[in-house]
Structure 1
Amino acid sequence: MTSVLQIGPLTERFNTALAADYAVTCLWQQADPEAFLREQGGAFEVVVTSARFGCSAEQLVLLPNLQAICSFGVGYDAIAVEAARARGIPVSTTPDVLNDCVADLAMGLIIDCARRISETERFVRAGRWSDTPWTGLGRKVSGKRLGIVGLGRIGEAVAQRAAGFAMPVRYHNRRPVAGSPLGYEANLLDLARWADFLVLTCPGGASTHHLINQGVLEALGPSGCLINVARGSVVDQDALITALTEGRLGGAGLDVFAAEPDVPGALRGLDSVVLVPHIGSATEETRLDMEQLLLANLQAFVEQGALLTPL
């Protein structure tokens, strides 16, 4: 049986399915994971991991016979991809199967921020409505301008949903997407100035670290709203807190954070912010599809020597 090192746990359903067909060692169950890898790392042919647990360059050094990395999720900033490539180790993720659910959540966060759904739900749940009429006003969503940072598969799915709300859409990438009918903004600041809502669907990693900085937030402005379903590292979180606290940004809908699961109290205390615990792909259907695709990648590599969805 192929020797598999599983970096971190997934669902019990997945863990059981994996162990049924492969010789699996669970790294998180070792008393001293680093010492274990120093002693036993040469035994493993494949790493199974996730966007959360990753596979570091330090771990790769201790896995001299590794042949492939199969990861759960689309994010790969926690995986030492360049170090793997330098050794000819292919890396797979689980793309496409989660596009719809992440895009659905992005639209939900837009609507929640604009219509103040979470804020008013807290108002009712606290029993305040019986004593104090709700007088606050939200903002209309239909017809508002939507900017997308990162027009990949998920960004395109967000744009499709925005069409149902008659929202003009423009996007920012490193370069225009061939064949896209959407408006391209080469300058991120120009996109932020134009947009009512700025949705982040770009990858994480060094190339996008703090891409959304003070300047972008100020360009989005006191009536603008930032929606992040990408990675927490894409946003300068301190600058975001300052902009929100000082009223220089209208609001934010956040699925991801700089140091998950730690969410600063300054964000938790703001009614203008909707906070959810990284649930973009968290539906029964999508998580099952992701598990099955990871297993299919592993099976394809073992049987054919090639991954189905390599980076």
Structure 2
Amino acid sequence: MAPAAATAAKWSGKPPALPSLLLIRRVDASFAAALRQRFRILDFFASGEPLPAFLAAAEAPRAAVVMGGGVVRVDAAFLDAAPSLRCVFSTAAGVDFIDLGECARRGVAVANSGRVYSTDVADHAVGMLIDVLRRVTAAERFVRRGLWPLQRDYPLGSKLGGKRIGIIGLGNIGSLIAKRLEAFGCVIYYNSRKPKDSVSYRYFPSVHDLAVESDVLVVACALNKDTRHIVNMDVLDALGKDGIIINIGRGANIDEAEMVRALKEGRIAGAGLDVFENEPEVPAELLSMDNVVLTHHVAVSTSESRGDLRDHTIANLEAFFSGKPLLTPVLP
């Protein structure tokens, strides 16, 4: 609230009005309660209205909390429908669904989840890789189906130590994945927009060349026009028939149809996938593949990270409404 409004409320004897906040994501009860203590919530999902009608009825909100996954795109049309907005907070690290250039042009600040999820996503990526290599969940299904006494032998898995790991995107999450896999005795290579002076890992300017030299590709980059389908047929073929791919970035970082074909034809050995191109739809062919581990975009989700996200979201919003710099601004 502006200082003048707060002073007027004080002299009138009325409690100051809470600032209005568009909430365009589902949150749990504790998150919702914490927001309602500080803001007047305009809840899209509780409204039951189509997004255009919801935005038209909103009373001059200055901030919005949004998430990706196809629920909303913060683009020119969205900003036209909510012209009072001056801050958009993404509860995801990725902001591929936000037109950063358009927001900057209109003076709308953007912030994201920052490092809230980084350790959880890195842990999940390593867990998926171990699962694919050692066939953990596939072997678990083998036991549950009662096949152990009948078939005895089961295909051997592969060790993690010594594997050459190519990481696409050595940012926050990619760096944490690298450190974890180093501890397993893996050799780390990477591709990024430019080499990083802070690491000694071998840099590859080409994802294709990275794949040629790697046993495993881990996709940990943001999604943008340059990284959409950065893993294509040529990269998959370069990875080869013994190669594994892990994706905890965005589904569209991989050409999903080509990856499914490569798995079916044995041109790559396996995959661990937490994200998909058309979520929540998952290609049916993947469901029956024992060399593929699937999770439902939950690499970010732990009980700890949910609490951290709540606190981080509120801290960014309170900074905005107080006229202070955002904690985790995202620039165009």
| 1:29-52 C-alpha deviation (Å, 9 max, x unpaired) | 3323212323x3461110011234
Structure 2 unaligned spans of 5+: 1-17
Q: Does 1:7 align with 2:24?
A: yes
SS of residue in 2 equivalent to 1:43: coil
Distance 1:11 1:134 in 2: 46
Residue of structure 1 aligned with 2:296, choices 274, 277, 280: 277
Figure out how many residues of one structure are paired with residues of the other and give that number.
310
Q: Does 1:65 align with 2:100?
A: no
Distance 1:96 1:266 in 2: 34
Distance 2:186 2:105 in 1: 44
Distance 1:295 1:56 in 2: 20
The residue correspondences of 1:199-278 to structure 2 (distance < 5 A) are 199-278=218-297
List structure 1 runs of 4+ shifted beyond 6 angstroms. none
| Mapped contact 1:42–1:63 kept (Cα < 8 A) | no
Residue of structure 1 aligned with 2:122, choices 89, 103, 118: 103
The residue correspondences of 1:64-213 to structure 2 (distance < 5 A) are 64-213=83-232
Structure 1 unaligned spans of 5+: none
Larger Rg: 2
| Aligned residue number for residue 24 of structure 1 | 41
Distance 1:8 1:26 in 2: 8
RMSD (Å), alpha carbons = 1.3
Distance 1:309 1:111 in 2: 32
- Following superposition, the deviation at residue 256 of structure 1 comes to 0.4
Distance 2:107 2:277 in 1: 31
Pick which of 169-178 and 228-237 moved more.
169-178
Counting aligned pairs with the same residue, the percent is 37
| 1:193-247 C-alpha deviation (Å, 9 max, x unpaired) | 1111110110013221111100000100110000000000100000000000000
Residue of structure 2 aligned with 1:33, choices 51, 55, 61: 51
SS of residue in 1 equivalent to 2:103: helix
The one-letter code sitting in structure 1 at the alignment partner of 2:200 is P
TM-score in terms of structure 1 length:
0.96
The one-letter code sitting in structure 1 at the alignment partner of 2:251 is G
- Following superposition, the deviation at residue 295 of structure 1 comes to 0.8
Pick which of 146-155 and 2-11 moved more.
2-11
The one-letter code sitting in structure 2 at the alignment partner of 1:273 is V
